[in-house]
Structure 1
Amino acid sequence: MNFKTILVHLDHSDRCAARTALAARWAGAHGSHLVGLVPSGRYDGVIPADAIAPEVGDFIAASADYLRRRAETIGREFEQAVAATGAVAHELRVVDAATTDAVVQHGRASDLVVLGRDDGSGARDVAVHGLVGHVLMEVGRPVLVVPCDGDFEGVARNAVVAWNGSREAAVALQAALPALQRARRVTLVDFRRPQEAGDDRPPSAAEMLRFLARHGIQASFERDVAGSDVAAALLSRVSELGADLLVMGGYGHPRVQEMVLGGVTRQILARASVPVLMAH
Protein backbone atom coordinates (compact mmCIF):
# COMPACT_ATOMS: atom_id res chain seq x y z
CA MET A 1 0.00 0.00 0.00
CA ASN A 2 1.13 3.53 -0.76
CA PHE A 3 -0.06 7.08 -0.57
CA LYS A 4 -0.22 7.59 -4.35
CA THR A 5 -1.01 11.31 -4.10
CA ILE A 6 0.16 13.56 -1.25
CA LEU A 7 -1.03 17.16 -1.02
CA VAL A 8 0.84 19.71 1.07
CA HIS A 9 -0.58 23.10 2.00
CA LEU A 10 1.92 25.86 1.27
CA ASP A 11 1.93 29.33 2.78
CA HIS A 12 4.32 32.07 3.87
CA SER A 13 4.59 30.89 7.48
CA ASP A 14 7.92 30.13 9.11
CA ARG A 15 7.27 26.38 9.11
CA CYS A 16 6.34 25.97 5.46
CA ALA A 17 9.85 24.80 4.52
CA ALA A 18 9.87 22.05 7.15
CA ARG A 19 6.39 20.96 6.09
CA THR A 20 7.42 20.85 2.43
CA ALA A 21 10.56 18.85 3.22
CA LEU A 22 8.64 16.24 5.20
CA ALA A 23 5.95 15.93 2.51
CA ALA A 24 8.63 15.49 -0.16
CA ARG A 25 10.39 12.78 1.83
CA TRP A 26 7.14 10.90 2.38
CA ALA A 27 6.36 11.26 -1.34
CA GLY A 28 9.76 9.86 -2.25
CA ALA A 29 9.41 6.92 0.13
CA HIS A 30 5.90 6.06 -1.06
CA GLY A 31 6.45 6.73 -4.75
CA SER A 32 3.81 9.44 -4.52
CA HIS A 33 2.83 12.31 -6.76
CA LEU A 34 3.31 15.42 -4.61
CA VAL A 35 0.95 18.36 -5.00
CA GLY A 36 1.95 21.72 -3.55
CA LEU A 37 -1.17 23.83 -3.01
CA VAL A 38 -0.81 27.59 -2.61
CA PRO A 39 -4.03 29.48 -1.81
CA SER A 40 -3.16 33.06 -2.69
CA GLY A 41 -4.98 34.56 0.29
CA ARG A 42 -7.19 36.73 -1.88
CA TYR A 43 -10.36 35.50 -0.17
CA ASP A 44 -8.96 35.02 3.31
CA GLY A 45 -9.30 38.51 4.72
CA VAL A 46 -6.80 41.20 5.53
CA ILE A 47 -3.68 42.34 3.74
CA PRO A 48 -0.75 43.42 5.95
CA ALA A 49 -0.91 47.16 6.46
CA ASP A 50 2.72 47.64 5.40
CA ALA A 51 2.38 45.56 2.22
CA ILE A 52 0.77 48.30 0.14
CA ALA A 53 2.13 51.83 -0.08
CA PRO A 54 -0.36 54.39 1.30
CA GLU A 55 -0.18 56.53 -1.85
CA VAL A 56 -1.37 53.70 -4.10
CA GLY A 57 -4.73 54.69 -5.53
CA ASP A 58 -6.15 51.33 -6.58
CA PHE A 59 -5.74 49.37 -3.35
CA ILE A 60 -7.65 46.33 -4.64
CA ALA A 61 -5.45 45.95 -7.72
CA ALA A 62 -2.30 46.51 -5.66
CA SER A 63 -3.43 43.94 -3.10
CA ALA A 64 -4.13 41.35 -5.80
CA ASP A 65 -0.71 41.99 -7.30
CA TYR A 66 0.97 41.64 -3.90
CA LEU A 67 -0.80 38.33 -3.20
CA ARG A 68 0.00 36.99 -6.66
CA ARG A 69 3.69 37.83 -6.32
CA ARG A 70 3.81 36.29 -2.85
CA ALA A 71 2.15 33.09 -4.10
CA GLU A 72 4.67 32.88 -6.93
CA THR A 73 7.51 33.23 -4.43
CA ILE A 74 6.06 30.44 -2.27
CA GLY A 75 5.74 28.30 -5.40
CA ARG A 76 9.38 28.84 -6.39
CA GLU A 77 10.50 27.89 -2.90
CA PHE A 78 8.43 24.71 -3.12
CA GLU A 79 9.96 23.77 -6.47
CA GLN A 80 13.48 24.36 -5.16
CA ALA A 81 12.86 22.39 -1.97
CA VAL A 82 11.42 19.39 -3.81
CA ALA A 83 14.29 19.42 -6.29
CA ALA A 84 16.75 19.32 -3.40
CA THR A 85 15.22 16.13 -2.00
CA GLY A 86 15.62 14.14 -5.23
CA ALA A 87 13.45 12.98 -8.09
CA VAL A 88 9.88 13.29 -6.83
CA ALA A 89 6.98 13.65 -9.26
CA HIS A 90 5.28 16.87 -8.30
CA GLU A 91 3.15 19.79 -9.39
CA LEU A 92 2.33 23.25 -8.09
CA ARG A 93 -1.21 24.62 -7.87
CA VAL A 94 -1.82 28.29 -7.14
CA VAL A 95 -5.48 28.99 -6.46
CA ASP A 96 -7.53 32.03 -5.46
CA ALA A 97 -10.14 30.15 -3.40
CA ALA A 98 -10.40 30.59 0.37
CA THR A 99 -7.68 28.54 2.06
CA THR A 100 -9.89 26.14 3.98
CA ASP A 101 -12.13 25.49 1.00
CA ALA A 102 -9.18 25.01 -1.35
CA VAL A 103 -7.42 22.50 0.90
CA VAL A 104 -10.62 20.49 1.40
CA GLN A 105 -11.56 20.47 -2.27
CA HIS A 106 -8.11 19.59 -3.61
CA GLY A 107 -7.41 17.28 -0.68
CA ARG A 108 -10.29 15.00 -1.60
CA ALA A 109 -8.34 14.01 -4.73
CA SER A 110 -5.35 12.91 -2.66
CA ASP A 111 -4.47 10.06 -0.30
CA LEU A 112 -2.85 12.21 2.38
CA VAL A 113 -3.04 15.91 3.24
CA VAL A 114 -0.04 17.50 4.97
CA LEU A 115 -0.77 20.56 7.12
CA GLY A 116 1.13 22.66 9.59
CA ARG A 117 -0.10 23.57 13.03
CA ASP A 118 -0.89 27.27 13.32
CA ASP A 119 2.27 28.77 14.79
CA GLY A 120 1.09 32.39 14.75
CA SER A 121 3.64 33.49 12.15
CA GLY A 122 0.85 34.25 9.67
CA ALA A 123 -1.47 35.96 12.14
CA ARG A 124 -1.03 39.39 10.54
CA ASP A 125 -2.09 38.16 7.18
CA VAL A 126 -4.02 35.11 6.00
CA ALA A 127 -6.83 34.11 8.34
CA VAL A 128 -6.50 30.31 8.45
CA HIS A 129 -6.92 29.76 12.17
CA GLY A 130 -8.65 26.45 12.71
CA LEU A 131 -7.45 25.10 9.36
CA VAL A 132 -6.44 21.70 10.75
CA GLY A 133 -9.75 21.12 12.48
CA HIS A 134 -11.83 22.22 9.53
CA VAL A 135 -9.88 20.14 7.02
CA LEU A 136 -9.79 17.07 9.26
CA MET A 137 -13.54 17.07 9.72
CA GLU A 138 -14.41 17.86 6.09
CA VAL A 139 -11.83 16.41 3.71
CA GLY A 140 -12.54 12.69 4.11
CA ARG A 141 -8.82 11.87 3.90
CA PRO A 142 -6.11 11.34 6.51
CA VAL A 143 -4.26 14.46 7.60
CA LEU A 144 -0.60 14.60 8.66
CA VAL A 145 -0.05 17.53 11.02
CA VAL A 146 3.52 18.82 11.31
CA PRO A 147 4.51 20.38 14.66
CA CYS A 148 5.65 23.98 15.08
CA ASP A 149 9.17 22.94 16.02
CA GLY A 150 11.69 20.36 14.91
CA ASP A 151 12.97 18.82 11.70
CA PHE A 152 11.82 15.39 10.61
CA GLU A 153 14.08 13.21 8.52
CA GLY A 154 11.52 11.21 6.60
CA VAL A 155 9.01 8.40 6.92
CA ALA A 156 8.23 7.15 10.40
CA ARG A 157 10.34 4.34 11.83
CA ASN A 158 8.78 4.15 15.28
CA ALA A 159 5.04 4.76 15.38
CA VAL A 160 2.57 4.92 18.26
CA VAL A 161 -1.11 4.32 17.54
CA ALA A 162 -3.66 5.66 20.02
CA TRP A 163 -6.14 2.80 20.20
CA ASN A 164 -9.38 2.71 22.20
CA GLY A 165 -11.58 0.56 19.99
CA SER A 166 -13.60 3.51 18.71
CA ARG A 167 -14.72 4.18 15.16
CA GLU A 168 -12.35 7.14 14.87
CA ALA A 169 -9.39 5.06 16.05
CA ALA A 170 -10.24 2.33 13.54
CA VAL A 171 -10.51 4.84 10.69
CA ALA A 172 -7.15 6.39 11.60
CA LEU A 173 -5.45 3.00 11.89
CA GLN A 174 -6.73 1.94 8.47
CA ALA A 175 -5.66 5.24 6.91
CA ALA A 176 -2.18 4.94 8.42
CA LEU A 177 -1.44 1.42 7.13
CA PRO A 178 0.92 2.59 4.35
CA ALA A 179 2.99 4.47 6.94
CA LEU A 180 2.88 1.68 9.51
CA GLN A 181 4.06 -0.88 6.96
CA ARG A 182 7.31 1.09 6.62
CA ALA A 183 7.89 1.47 10.35
CA ARG A 184 10.32 -0.76 12.21
CA ARG A 185 8.31 -0.53 15.41
CA VAL A 186 4.57 -0.07 15.94
CA THR A 187 2.97 0.19 19.37
CA LEU A 188 -0.76 0.34 20.03
CA VAL A 189 -1.39 2.28 23.22
CA ASP A 190 -4.73 2.23 25.04
CA PHE A 191 -5.04 4.75 27.87
CA ARG A 192 -8.23 4.52 29.89
CA ARG A 193 -9.57 6.84 32.52
CA PRO A 194 -10.02 5.18 35.92
CA GLN A 195 -13.77 4.75 35.45
CA GLU A 196 -13.14 2.99 32.12
CA ALA A 197 -10.39 0.64 33.30
CA GLY A 198 -12.52 -2.49 33.21
CA ASP A 199 -14.32 -1.69 29.96
CA ASP A 200 -13.01 -4.26 27.47
CA ARG A 201 -14.88 -3.54 24.28
CA PRO A 202 -14.24 -5.58 21.13
CA PRO A 203 -12.15 -5.87 19.09
CA SER A 204 -9.64 -7.34 21.51
CA ALA A 205 -5.97 -6.38 21.50
CA ALA A 206 -5.07 -9.83 20.17
CA GLU A 207 -7.54 -9.42 17.32
CA MET A 208 -6.06 -6.06 16.35
CA LEU A 209 -2.53 -7.42 16.40
CA ARG A 210 -3.58 -10.27 14.11
CA PHE A 211 -5.26 -7.75 11.81
CA LEU A 212 -2.03 -5.76 11.56
CA ALA A 213 0.05 -8.90 11.08
CA ARG A 214 -2.01 -9.79 8.02
CA HIS A 215 -0.89 -6.42 6.63
CA GLY A 216 2.74 -7.28 7.34
CA ILE A 217 2.92 -5.14 10.48
CA GLN A 218 4.33 -6.72 13.65
CA ALA A 219 2.99 -4.57 16.46
CA SER A 220 2.80 -4.66 20.25
CA PHE A 221 -0.01 -3.53 22.53
CA GLU A 222 -0.04 -1.63 25.81
CA ARG A 223 -2.90 -0.71 28.10
CA ASP A 224 -2.69 1.58 31.09
CA VAL A 225 -4.87 3.78 33.24
CA ALA A 226 -4.38 7.51 32.79
CA GLY A 227 -5.48 10.21 35.18
CA SER A 228 -7.67 13.04 34.04
CA ASP A 229 -5.15 14.15 31.39
CA VAL A 230 -5.19 11.44 28.74
CA ALA A 231 -3.36 13.66 26.26
CA ALA A 232 -0.43 14.15 28.65
CA ALA A 233 -0.21 10.43 29.34
CA LEU A 234 -0.23 9.60 25.64
CA LEU A 235 2.38 12.21 24.72
CA SER A 236 4.57 11.11 27.61
CA ARG A 237 4.49 7.54 26.31
CA VAL A 238 5.29 8.74 22.79
CA SER A 239 8.38 10.43 24.21
CA GLU A 240 9.40 7.42 26.31
CA LEU A 241 9.18 5.11 23.31
CA GLY A 242 11.19 7.53 21.15
CA ALA A 243 8.40 7.52 18.57
CA ASP A 244 8.55 9.72 15.50
CA LEU A 245 4.86 9.44 14.52
CA LEU A 246 1.57 9.41 16.41
CA VAL A 247 -1.55 7.97 14.79
CA MET A 248 -4.91 8.82 16.30
CA GLY A 249 -8.54 9.40 15.45
CA GLY A 250 -9.87 12.93 15.18
CA TYR A 251 -12.67 13.75 17.55
CA GLY A 252 -15.01 16.70 17.19
CA HIS A 253 -18.56 17.91 16.83
CA PRO A 254 -20.31 20.56 14.72
CA ARG A 255 -21.27 23.99 15.93
CA VAL A 256 -22.74 26.89 14.02
CA GLN A 257 -20.67 27.20 10.82
CA GLU A 258 -17.56 25.63 12.32
CA MET A 259 -16.09 22.32 13.43
CA VAL A 260 -14.67 22.17 16.92
CA LEU A 261 -12.20 19.48 17.86
CA GLY A 262 -12.61 17.56 21.07
CA GLY A 263 -10.45 18.38 24.09
CA VAL A 264 -7.97 15.51 23.82
CA THR A 265 -7.46 16.14 20.10
CA ARG A 266 -6.83 19.86 20.67
CA GLN A 267 -4.35 19.14 23.44
CA ILE A 268 -2.47 16.59 21.36
CA LEU A 269 -2.16 18.99 18.43
CA ALA A 270 -1.08 21.85 20.70
CA ARG A 271 1.60 19.85 22.50
CA ALA A 272 2.82 17.09 20.17
CA SER A 273 6.49 17.21 19.23
CA VAL A 274 6.18 14.60 16.45
CA PRO A 275 3.98 14.55 13.34
CA VAL A 276 0.44 13.37 14.04
CA LEU A 277 -1.46 11.37 11.43
CA MET A 278 -5.18 11.78 12.02
CA ALA A 279 -8.42 10.74 10.35
CA HIS A 280 -12.06 11.20 11.20
Structure 2
Amino acid sequence: MYKTIVVHVDDSPGFDARMRAAAQLAASDGAHLIGTAATGMSFAAFAMLTGSMPVMPGDEFDELRATANASLERFAERARQLGVASMEGRMVEDEGRTALLLQSRYADLVVVSQDGPDASGMRGLPQYLALHGPRPVLSVPAIYLGEPIADSIVVGWDGSVPALRAIDGALPLLASARTVRLALINPERETGLHGDDPGADMGLYLARHGVPVDVLVERTESPAGEALLRIAHDNQAGLLVTGAFGHSRYRELVLGGVTRILLERARLPVLFAH
Protein backbone atom coordinates (compact mmCIF):
# COMPACT_ATOMS: atom_id res chain seq x y z
CA MET A 1 0.00 0.00 0.00
CA TYR A 2 0.99 3.61 -0.50
CA LYS A 3 1.51 5.24 2.88
CA THR A 4 3.26 8.46 1.84
CA ILE A 5 2.36 10.36 -1.34
CA VAL A 6 4.05 13.56 -2.53
CA VAL A 7 2.11 15.92 -4.77
CA HIS A 8 3.55 18.89 -6.64
CA VAL A 9 1.96 22.14 -5.47
CA ASP A 10 1.86 25.38 -7.47
CA ASP A 11 -0.70 27.73 -9.01
CA SER A 12 -0.74 26.21 -12.51
CA PRO A 13 -3.97 25.13 -14.30
CA GLY A 14 -3.22 21.44 -13.70
CA PHE A 15 -3.14 21.76 -9.91
CA ASP A 16 -6.72 20.70 -9.23
CA ALA A 17 -6.52 17.61 -11.46
CA ARG A 18 -3.39 16.33 -9.73
CA MET A 19 -4.93 17.09 -6.33
CA ARG A 20 -7.99 14.99 -7.20
CA ALA A 21 -5.79 12.07 -8.18
CA ALA A 22 -3.51 12.36 -5.15
CA ALA A 23 -6.45 12.68 -2.77
CA GLN A 24 -8.18 9.63 -4.25
CA LEU A 25 -5.09 7.48 -3.82
CA ALA A 26 -4.44 8.81 -0.32
CA ALA A 27 -8.00 8.01 0.72
CA SER A 28 -7.90 4.47 -0.67
CA ASP A 29 -4.85 3.48 1.41
CA GLY A 30 -5.11 5.92 4.30
CA ALA A 31 -1.89 7.53 3.09
CA HIS A 32 -0.24 10.70 4.34
CA LEU A 33 -0.28 13.38 1.63
CA ILE A 34 2.64 15.82 1.39
CA GLY A 35 2.19 18.93 -0.71
CA THR A 36 5.54 20.26 -1.93
CA ALA A 37 5.94 23.83 -3.17
CA ALA A 38 9.27 25.32 -4.22
CA THR A 39 10.54 28.89 -4.31
CA GLY A 40 12.20 28.21 -7.67
CA MET A 41 15.76 28.66 -6.43
CA SER A 42 17.77 28.68 -3.24
CA PHE A 43 18.46 31.90 -1.35
CA ALA A 44 22.17 31.59 -2.13
CA ALA A 45 21.45 31.33 -5.86
CA PHE A 46 19.01 34.24 -5.67
CA ALA A 47 21.50 36.43 -3.80
CA MET A 48 24.15 35.69 -6.40
CA LEU A 49 21.71 36.46 -9.22
CA THR A 50 20.66 39.81 -7.73
CA GLY A 51 24.05 40.77 -6.29
CA SER A 52 24.65 43.44 -8.90
CA MET A 53 21.09 44.78 -8.79
CA PRO A 54 19.85 47.67 -6.58
CA VAL A 55 17.53 45.44 -4.51
CA MET A 56 17.78 43.69 -1.18
CA PRO A 57 17.95 39.93 -1.86
CA GLY A 58 16.11 39.15 1.39
CA ASP A 59 13.09 41.30 0.51
CA GLU A 60 12.82 39.94 -3.01
CA PHE A 61 13.27 36.36 -1.89
CA ASP A 62 10.53 36.82 0.71
CA GLU A 63 8.14 37.32 -2.20
CA LEU A 64 9.12 33.91 -3.58
CA ARG A 65 8.53 32.38 -0.16
CA ALA A 66 5.17 34.11 0.11
CA THR A 67 4.08 32.76 -3.28
CA ALA A 68 5.06 29.21 -2.31
CA ASN A 69 3.29 29.51 1.04
CA ALA A 70 0.14 30.82 -0.66
CA SER A 71 0.17 27.74 -2.89
CA LEU A 72 0.50 25.53 0.19
CA GLU A 73 -2.48 27.23 1.81
CA ARG A 74 -4.47 26.46 -1.32
CA PHE A 75 -3.23 22.87 -1.13
CA ALA A 76 -4.37 22.48 2.49
CA GLU A 77 -7.81 23.91 1.76
CA ARG A 78 -8.31 21.69 -1.31
CA ALA A 79 -7.08 18.60 0.53
CA ARG A 80 -9.65 19.20 3.27
CA GLN A 81 -12.38 19.65 0.66
CA LEU A 82 -11.38 16.34 -0.92
CA GLY A 83 -11.49 14.52 2.42
CA VAL A 84 -7.78 13.91 2.96
CA ALA A 85 -7.36 12.83 6.58
CA SER A 86 -3.59 13.14 6.93
CA MET A 87 -1.60 15.85 5.18
CA GLU A 88 1.12 18.46 5.46
CA GLY A 89 2.63 21.18 3.29
CA ARG A 90 6.36 21.64 2.74
CA MET A 91 7.99 24.73 1.29
CA VAL A 92 11.43 24.01 -0.20
CA GLU A 93 13.84 26.82 -1.00
CA ASP A 94 15.20 25.39 -4.21
CA GLU A 95 14.43 24.74 -7.87
CA GLY A 96 11.19 22.81 -8.34
CA ARG A 97 12.65 19.65 -9.85
CA THR A 98 15.31 19.42 -7.15
CA ALA A 99 12.72 19.92 -4.42
CA LEU A 100 10.47 17.14 -5.71
CA LEU A 101 13.41 14.83 -6.32
CA LEU A 102 14.46 15.21 -2.68
CA GLN A 103 10.95 14.67 -1.32
CA SER A 104 10.44 11.61 -3.51
CA ARG A 105 13.11 9.72 -1.58
CA TYR A 106 10.81 9.50 1.41
CA ALA A 107 7.54 8.68 -0.35
CA ASP A 108 5.92 5.76 -2.13
CA LEU A 109 4.62 7.79 -5.07
CA VAL A 110 5.02 11.25 -6.61
CA VAL A 111 2.05 12.95 -8.30
CA VAL A 112 2.66 15.66 -10.92
CA SER A 113 0.87 17.12 -13.93
CA GLN A 114 1.14 15.76 -17.43
CA ASP A 115 3.74 17.46 -19.59
CA GLY A 116 2.37 20.22 -21.76
CA PRO A 117 2.28 23.96 -22.49
CA ASP A 118 0.86 24.70 -19.01
CA ALA A 119 3.53 22.77 -17.13
CA SER A 120 4.52 25.73 -14.89
CA GLY A 121 7.74 26.37 -16.75
CA MET A 122 8.97 22.89 -15.84
CA ARG A 123 8.57 21.03 -19.09
CA GLY A 124 9.63 17.42 -18.84
CA LEU A 125 8.97 17.18 -15.10
CA PRO A 126 7.36 13.68 -15.10
CA GLN A 127 10.13 12.08 -17.14
CA TYR A 128 12.83 13.93 -15.18
CA LEU A 129 11.53 12.57 -11.87
CA ALA A 130 11.05 9.07 -13.29
CA LEU A 131 14.54 9.03 -14.77
CA HIS A 132 16.43 10.50 -11.81
CA GLY A 133 14.22 9.64 -8.85
CA PRO A 134 13.81 6.42 -6.85
CA ARG A 135 9.99 6.26 -6.88
CA PRO A 136 7.21 5.79 -9.42
CA VAL A 137 5.66 8.95 -10.84
CA LEU A 138 1.97 9.49 -11.58
CA SER A 139 1.43 11.92 -14.46
CA VAL A 140 -2.08 13.45 -14.39
CA PRO A 141 -3.64 15.26 -17.38
CA ALA A 142 -5.33 18.59 -16.72
CA ILE A 143 -8.66 17.18 -17.97
CA TYR A 144 -8.78 14.57 -15.20
CA LEU A 145 -11.95 15.09 -13.11
CA GLY A 146 -11.61 12.42 -10.44
CA GLU A 147 -12.63 9.24 -12.27
CA PRO A 148 -11.68 5.97 -10.49
CA ILE A 149 -7.99 5.27 -11.03
CA ALA A 150 -7.64 1.72 -9.76
CA ASP A 151 -10.78 0.12 -11.21
CA SER A 152 -9.58 -0.84 -14.69
CA ILE A 153 -5.84 -0.68 -15.43
CA VAL A 154 -3.78 -1.29 -18.56
CA VAL A 155 -0.12 -2.25 -18.11
CA GLY A 156 2.33 -1.84 -20.98
CA TRP A 157 4.77 -4.77 -20.78
CA ASP A 158 7.82 -4.93 -23.07
CA GLY A 159 10.06 -7.07 -20.88
CA SER A 160 12.31 -4.15 -19.94
CA VAL A 161 13.63 -3.22 -16.50
CA PRO A 162 11.80 0.15 -16.53
CA ALA A 163 8.51 -1.64 -17.24
CA LEU A 164 9.22 -4.11 -14.43
CA ARG A 165 9.89 -1.27 -12.00
CA ALA A 166 6.70 0.45 -13.06
CA ILE A 167 4.73 -2.73 -12.40
CA ASP A 168 6.30 -3.15 -8.97
CA GLY A 169 5.59 0.50 -8.19
CA ALA A 170 1.95 0.06 -9.20
CA LEU A 171 1.35 -3.23 -7.35
CA PRO A 172 -0.82 -1.65 -4.62
CA LEU A 173 -3.15 -0.38 -7.34
CA LEU A 174 -2.98 -3.50 -9.50
CA ALA A 175 -3.90 -5.77 -6.57
CA SER A 176 -7.00 -3.70 -5.79
CA ALA A 177 -8.18 -3.32 -9.39
CA ARG A 178 -11.27 -4.97 -10.83
CA THR A 179 -9.54 -5.72 -14.15
CA VAL A 180 -5.93 -5.51 -15.32
CA ARG A 181 -4.85 -5.97 -18.93
CA LEU A 182 -1.20 -6.80 -19.46
CA ALA A 183 -0.65 -5.39 -22.96
CA LEU A 184 2.21 -6.54 -25.18
CA ILE A 185 2.76 -4.65 -28.44
CA ASN A 186 4.44 -6.71 -31.17
CA PRO A 187 6.34 -8.88 -28.64
CA GLU A 188 8.06 -10.89 -31.39
CA ARG A 189 10.30 -7.85 -31.94
CA GLU A 190 11.80 -8.33 -28.46
CA THR A 191 12.00 -12.13 -28.30
CA GLY A 192 14.95 -12.10 -25.93
CA LEU A 193 12.91 -10.29 -23.27
CA HIS A 194 9.71 -12.34 -23.33
CA GLY A 195 10.54 -16.04 -23.48
CA ASP A 196 8.66 -18.68 -25.45
CA ASP A 197 5.19 -17.50 -24.39
CA PRO A 198 5.18 -13.68 -24.27
CA GLY A 199 3.32 -12.33 -21.24
CA ALA A 200 2.80 -15.71 -19.58
CA ASP A 201 5.47 -15.41 -16.91
CA MET A 202 4.58 -11.83 -16.00
CA GLY A 203 0.91 -12.78 -15.94
CA LEU A 204 1.68 -15.55 -13.44
CA TYR A 205 3.85 -13.19 -11.38
CA LEU A 206 0.98 -10.71 -11.11
CA ALA A 207 -1.59 -13.43 -10.42
CA ARG A 208 0.47 -14.64 -7.46
CA HIS A 209 0.19 -11.11 -6.07
CA GLY A 210 -3.58 -11.33 -6.31
CA VAL A 211 -3.85 -9.24 -9.48
CA PRO A 212 -6.86 -10.10 -11.72
CA VAL A 213 -4.79 -10.06 -14.89
CA ASP A 214 -5.50 -10.89 -18.52
CA VAL A 215 -2.74 -10.97 -21.15
CA LEU A 216 -3.44 -9.03 -24.33
CA VAL A 217 -1.09 -9.31 -27.32
CA GLU A 218 -1.48 -6.56 -29.91
CA ARG A 219 0.13 -6.68 -33.34
CA THR A 220 0.01 -3.37 -35.09
CA GLU A 221 1.91 -1.04 -37.39
CA SER A 222 1.08 1.91 -35.14
CA PRO A 223 3.67 3.25 -32.67
CA ALA A 224 3.54 1.38 -29.37
CA GLY A 225 2.50 4.49 -27.46
CA GLU A 226 -0.51 5.05 -29.69
CA ALA A 227 -1.44 1.37 -29.44
CA LEU A 228 -1.37 1.53 -25.63
CA LEU A 229 -3.56 4.62 -25.60
CA ARG A 230 -6.06 2.90 -27.89
CA ILE A 231 -6.14 -0.19 -25.66
CA ALA A 232 -6.65 1.99 -22.58
CA HIS A 233 -9.53 3.80 -24.29
CA ASP A 234 -11.18 0.60 -25.53
CA ASN A 235 -11.03 -0.91 -22.03
CA GLN A 236 -12.20 2.29 -20.32
CA ALA A 237 -9.07 2.20 -18.20
CA GLY A 238 -8.54 4.69 -15.39
CA LEU A 239 -4.78 4.18 -15.30
CA LEU A 240 -1.97 3.22 -17.66
CA VAL A 241 1.22 1.73 -16.20
CA THR A 242 4.45 1.67 -18.20
CA GLY A 243 8.21 2.01 -18.02
CA ALA A 244 9.88 5.30 -18.84
CA PHE A 245 12.66 5.55 -21.43
CA GLY A 246 12.43 1.91 -22.44
CA HIS A 247 14.69 2.68 -25.40
CA SER A 248 17.79 4.84 -25.52
CA ARG A 249 17.29 8.48 -24.56
CA TYR A 250 18.57 9.44 -28.03
CA ARG A 251 15.81 7.42 -29.68
CA GLU A 252 13.18 8.88 -27.34
CA LEU A 253 14.30 12.40 -28.23
CA VAL A 254 14.65 12.00 -31.99
CA LEU A 255 11.95 9.49 -32.86
CA GLY A 256 9.35 10.46 -30.28
CA GLY A 257 9.20 7.15 -28.42
CA VAL A 258 6.56 5.54 -26.25
CA THR A 259 7.28 7.70 -23.22
CA ARG A 260 6.98 10.96 -25.12
CA ILE A 261 3.68 9.94 -26.76
CA LEU A 262 2.13 8.93 -23.46
CA LEU A 263 3.32 11.99 -21.56
CA GLU A 264 1.96 14.38 -24.17
CA ARG A 265 -1.22 12.67 -25.42
CA ALA A 266 -2.63 10.51 -22.63
CA ARG A 267 -6.11 11.50 -21.48
CA LEU A 268 -5.85 9.41 -18.33
CA PRO A 269 -3.31 9.21 -15.48
CA VAL A 270 -0.11 7.35 -16.37
CA LEU A 271 2.22 5.76 -13.82
CA PHE A 272 5.87 5.72 -14.92
CA ALA A 273 9.09 4.34 -13.48
CA HIS A 274 12.62 3.90 -14.73
Query: What is the TM-score when the length of structure 2 is the normalising length?
Result: 0.86
Which residue is equivalent to 2:69? 72
Task: Note the 1:130-279 alignment, pairs <5 A.
Answer: 130-192=124-186, 196=189, 201-202=194-195, 204-251=198-245, 253=248, 263-279=257-273
Return closer, same or farther for 1:81/1:216 CA change in 2, 3 Å cut-off.
same
Question: Larger helix proportion, structure 1 or 2?
Answer: 2
Which residue is equivalent to 1:52? none
Relative to structure 2, which stretch is displaced further, 15-24 or 201-210?
Answer: 201-210
CA contact (8 A) 2:160 2:193 kept: no
d(CA) in 1 for partners of 2:163 and 2:84?
A: 34
Amino acid across the alignment from 2:80: A
Aligned to 2:66, the other structure's residue is in SS state helix
1:86 is the counterpart of 2:83:
yes
d(CA) in 2 for partners of 1:161 and 1:144?
A: 14
d(CA) in 1 for partners of 2:201 and 2:186?
A: 19
Q: By how many angstroms is 1:96 displaced? A: 0.8
Which residue is equivalent to 1:98? 95
Amino acid across the alignment from 1:114: V
Structure 2 alignment gaps of length 5 or more: 47-53
Which residue is equivalent to 1:15? 14
CA contact (8 A) 2:2 2:31 kept: yes
CA contact (8 A) 1:29 1:155 kept: no
CA contact (8 A) 2:23 2:33 kept: yes
Q: By how many angstroms is 1:169 displaced? A: 1.4
Q: By how many angstroms is 1:222 displaced? A: 0.8
1:217-245 per-position Cα deviation (integer Å, ceiling 9, x unaligned): 11101112121422111111111111110
Large movers: runs of 4+ above 3 Å:
42-46, 59-63, 197-200, 252-255, 259-262
Return closer, same or farther for 1:101/1:260 CA change in 2, 3 Å cut-off.
farther
CA contact (8 A) 2:112 2:138 kept: yes
Q: By how many angstroms is 1:158 displaced? A: 0.4
Q: By how many angstroms is 1:198 displaced? A: 6.9
CA contact (8 A) 2:137 2:271 kept: yes
Which residue is equivalent to 2:49? none
d(CA) in 1 for partners of 2:100 and 2:214?
A: 35
d(CA) in 1 for partners of 2:190 and 2:118?
A: 42
RMSD (Å), alpha carbons: 2.7
Q: By how many angstroms is 1:60 displaced? A: 4.0
1:118 is the counterpart of 2:115:
yes
1:129 is the counterpart of 2:126:
no
Relative to structure 2, which stretch is displaced further, 31-40 or 80-89?
Answer: 80-89
d(CA) in 2 for partners of 1:82 and 1:111?
A: 18
d(CA) in 1 for partners of 2:167 and 2:142?
A: 24
Q: By how many angstroms is 1:61 displaced? A: 4.5
Q: By how many angstroms is 1:62 displaced? A: 4.8
1:183-232 per-position Cα deviation (integer Å, ceiling 9, x unaligned): 11100110117x72877722742322221121111110111212142211
Query: What is the TM-score when the length of structure 1 is the normalising length?
Result: 0.85
Taking only the aligned residue pairs, the percentage that are identical comes to 33
CA contact (8 A) 2:159 2:193 kept: no
d(CA) in 1 for partners of 2:133 and 2:225?
A: 24
